[in-house]
Amino acid sequence: MSDEQIDLSCPACSKPGRPKASEAEARMFELTNTAATLFLSKGYSKVSLEMIARAARVAVRTIYVKFGGKAGLFRAILLRGREHFFSSMEDLESSQRPIREVLLDVGQRIHELLASPAVINLHRMVIAEAHATPELAQAFFEGGPQQTRLMLTRYFERPDIRAQLRDDMPPNQLAVHLINCLTGDPLKRYLFGVEALSREESPSVEFAVDLFLRSVLR
């Protein structure tokens, strides 16, 4: 959700004709960055496609063609930001590390993500506008929380991982349980602006993962 901007006035970006792949990618990067900045600063419902197109110097039709509309653009912003954040993490579908090590890595990344000011503001915006704008809530879930659930569900579905876990807990419910163990209290404190717990008082990622594992391991 960075507000870094790309200068589209460079000679390479202003050549006539069909843009090269790198130029088209730069334009889409500029578009999503611009839209993310506007959404976070003004709120989803107060930002129109015309406003985004004007600021990003693209045609409104381009947004419809690439993303299907405002909700699709918002979803794409979340997917891009999440992909960037987790890009350095080992692929969970092939990782051979012990399950505890994998979940500690995932948990630490989730905590760092939730503590980001941009992500805190994003959650607050969605909560404030979700009732009046259901498409926003749906796009947020699909582009953010659902992706984490799917990532963890696929991990828990692996035969070697499944063999270590209780039979009576489906993989998708294991994913939800882990996320709840990791984020329950910290997320509420971030959203409500409550003073954070001290390091000694705050349950650590290690504590949350161990609590989860004690409840699901065979």
Whichever domain contains 134, its CATH number is 1.10.357.10
Residues 65 and 117 occupy one common structural domain = no
**Is 115 part of any domain?**
yes
pLDDT in tens, 42-66: 999 999 999 999 999 999 999 999 9
Q: Would you say the pTM of this structure is higher than 0.85?
A: no
**Is 84 part of any domain?**
no
Domain boundaries, position 35: 11-70
- Answer yes or no: are the C-beta atoms of 52 and 63 closer than 8 Å: yes
Residues 134 and 42 occupy one common structural domain = no
Residue in 168, 148, 147, 153 with CA at minimum distance from that of residue 217:
168
Residues 204 and 136 occupy one common structural domain = yes
**Is 83 part of any domain?**
no
pLDDT mean across residues, the chain: 86
Rounded to the nearest angstrom, the gap between the alpha carbon of residue 18 and the centroid of all alpha carbons in its chain is: 32
- Answer yes or no: are the C-beta atoms of 178 and 212 closer than 8 Å: yes
DSSP state of 43: -
Total number of domains in the chain:
2
User: Between the CA of residue 174 and those of 7, 143, 154, what are the distances in Å?
Assistant: 45, 20, 11
The band of 196, judged by pLDDT with boundaries at 50, 70 and 90, is low
**Is 82 part of any domain?**
no
**How many whole angstroms separate alpha carbon 35 and alpha carbon 49?**
9
Residues 134 and 202 occupy one common structural domain = yes
